[in-house]
Structure 1
Amino acid sequence: VSAVYDTTSSTLAVDYSHGQYPDQTDASQNYSQYVYPSEYPADSTWITPEQRELIIIPLRVYLSLHSLAPPRPATPEKFTMPHCCARFGPGGHLVQVLPNLPSAGQPALVDIHNLEIMQQDTPDQVELRSFPGPLVKEETHKVDVIKFSQRKALECSRDNNLLDKSSACLLWEFIVLLCKQNGTAVGTDIAELLLSEHRSVWLPGKSPNETNLIDFNNEPLSRAEEEPGAGPLSLLSDTFMIVPENIGKETEHFRELLLFGRKKDALEAAMKGGLWGHALLLACKMDNRTHASVMTSLPINDPLQTVYQLMSGRMPASATCCGEEKWGDWRPHLAMVLSNLTHARDLDTRTVTTMGDTLASKGLTDAAHFCYLMAQVGLGVFTKKSAKMVLIGSNHRFVTEVSQ
């Protein structure tokens, strides 16, 4: 199928052809009067679109930069005059920019000072030179670190200006332990470290109704009424423990009372005779009230109380009472917790952390930080007073209060 269209014919009702309009051109008009100025020669060529873009783009960038320039601040400037600026640089240098104004013709000078030379007459420089640093893995010998830590521990033990010399010495001994064991230490290792210099005397409770305390004065207890005998080897002092010779008679009397069914009398005799193993075993088989009375008959600061309360799922009382004078040394309680960790690791961690908080409230910063290290408390920020530990052995709360 094909179709042919006639272009001359129109289907419109009105004729719009060009011929109906008259010619408006004036033949007598002369266009020679429209000439190009001198700066625009007649033979000049048109600018191509590419050339136009090369001109317009830089102009747009210039206008955008000047239109988006931030206004000058209305607040006054912090430094109206040139000031000195100093920064610590690598290699132990202090970089100082002098307050010169190059626009005024002054030279821009930078001073570089060696801190070692600046501090050569200070006592701190001697200690810095003795430090076996920088501590680099596989380069720094651990023997040098051990010797340095042992020397610092000895200095702490001889420094009478320290509030808690033994705890400050303990921190350095802990570093020695980690170096010797390649950074690995278990609870029993820490307990041995805590009790290395401990010589406390364990006093049994006198009666269920009388509170007794353990003597932590590191002095031997003399009992005139009892003749000491050779007992088992002590893990604390590597010597034989003092055991009364009549302990066999106490056990025989305890057995006779049970043979006649006098359990309460047997329990009382066992506690008076120091047979705490028999007393606790018998009490736990009787009833809860009797067992509780036997537990309260133990000295309130006895580490046995700590481990029994911890294994019962409770936070030990020693966690909130250690550091007090009547409680004596805090180390046996921490050693008891670390050596007898329970399945409730959260309870163990909270117990050690609370013990650290209690010691910190007593001003024993070194002892508190040792507890925080055992509880794996991370280092905090110096500006936050709520941080438990920022720099080991230093009380950042006291420094912040003094600076304010």
Structure 2
Amino acid sequence: MALLVKNNGVIDVRVDIPKILWSSSNTAMSEDLSSSSNNTSSSSSSSSLENSLREFLALGEIDTSIKFACENQLYTHALIISYLTDKQSFEKTMQNIIFNLDNGDVLKTFYELGAGSIPSVVTNVTKAHYGDWKRHLAVILANRTDTNADFVDLCIKTMGDTFIASGRIYAGHFCYLIANVPFGSYRNNADKLAVIGSIHAGQSNLSFATIPNLQLTEVYDH
């Protein structure tokens, strides 16, 4: 009745009624949740966060609930809520979660690859905070399928380019080999690979290649 008077007889059933229901039951609900939870600080913190999330949902504040869940690393809830909302919301939430993962976490590499994006590690592999490049490459290579083979090879080849640009020739050539980059001619600067372990670009003869690298290339080629 008070609400009717306050709003001049106009009530939004979707907004006003949920607020009344939630407000009137909030104390009892908190007591029930508190009595059934553990007394540890982590449990209390998690319960408090989820209570806030419940309140946003009870008030129909879907976008706020998704944002709140992401900010507090309640990723499972964020994904489920956004999935039940619409495709655009789900994709936006998924991208937000992936973006906020640590760069050195191979989960980020896996998720980016699965989402059809070139993993950020590919062009930043030589930076220390990306961690061990072999772990990232393992995740990329292990998830190469018939349907994404060309895309995965592009990612690995790009990683090889990043290594070469930083002077890490063997790592770069290793990437080229597993990405199925063909051997080319040392006379063609556009070819990425002529002799394993040697950079041929700008060279007019084979003086750039050491005997061990020539032997290594011959052994691999045969």
Q: TM-score range by the shorter chain?
A: 0.5 to 0.7
Q: 1:300 to 1:283 in 2, by over 3 A?
A: farther
**Alignment partners' CA distance in 2, 1:322 and 1:368:** 11
Is 1:395 the counterpart of 2:199? The answer is: yes
Normalization by structure 2: what TM-score?
Answer: 0.55
The residue number in structure 2 matching 1:359 is 163
Which residues of structure 2 form unaligned runs of 5+? 1-39, 209-222
Matched, 1:337 2:140: yes
1:327 deviates by 3.6
Quick one: which amino acid aligns to residue 360 of structure 1? I
2:55 to 257, 260, 263: 260
Q: Tell me, in whole angstroms, the C-alpha distance in 1 between the residues paired with 2:194 and 2:121.
A: 25
The answer on whether the counterparts of 1:267 and 1:282 sit within 8 Å (CA) in structure 2 is no
Q: Which residue is 1:304 aligned to?
A: 107
How many angstroms apart in 2 are the aligned matches of 1:284 and 1:400?
A: 58
1:332 positional shift? 2.9
Structure with higher Rg: it is: 1
Alpha carbons 1:337, 1:348 under 8 Å: kept: yes
Task: Give secondary structure in 2 for the equivalent of 1:381.
Answer: coil
Alignment of 1:204-223 (within 5 A): none
Corresponding pairs, count: 159
Q: CA deviation at 1:279?
A: 4.1
Contact in 2 for aligned 1:254/1:266 (Cα 8 Å): no
* CA drift at 1:325: 4.3
2:187 and 2:74 map into 1 onto residues whose CA distance is 54
SS in 2 for 1:305: helix
The amino acid across from 1:375 in the alignment is A
CA offsets, 1:133-181, max 9 Å, x none? Answer: xxxxxxxxxxxxxxxxxxxxxxxxxxxxxxxxxxxxxxxxxxxxxxxxx
Say which of 126, 136, 150 aligns to 1:346: 150
- Is contact 1:323-1:329 (8 Å) kept? no
In 1, distance between residues paired with 2:206 and 2:42? 59
Higher percent of residues as strand? 1
After superposition, the C-alpha distances for 1:294-346 in whole angstroms (9 at most, x for unaligned) are: 33322345433322222222322322222234544322321221122252211
Which consecutive residues of structure 1, in runs of 5 or more, have no partner in the other structure?
1-244
Instruction: Evaluate the alpha carbon distance shift between residue 338 and residue 254 of structure 1 in structure 2; reply closer, same or farther with a 3 A threshold.
Output: farther
What does 1:156-175 correspond to in 2, within 5 Å? none
Give CA deviations for 1:172-211 in whole Å, capped at 9, x if unaligned.
xxxxxxxxxxxxxxxxxxxxxxxxxxxxxxxxxxxxxxxx
Q: What is the correspondence of 1:19-30 to structure 2 with a 5 Å cutoff?
A: none
- Percent of matched pairs sharing the same residue: 30
Distance 2:207 2:45 in 1: 64
* Higher mean displacement: 286-295 or 388-397: 286-295
Counterpart residue identity of residue 54, structure 2? L
Q: 1: CA distance between counterparts of 2:128 and 2:206?
A: 28
Inter-partner Cα distance in structure 2 for 1:301 and 1:284: 27
Contact 1:257 1:266 in 2 (8 A): no
Which of 303, 311, 315 aligns to 2:118? It is 315
Instruction: State the SS of the aligned residue for 2:201.
Output: helix
RMSD: 3.4
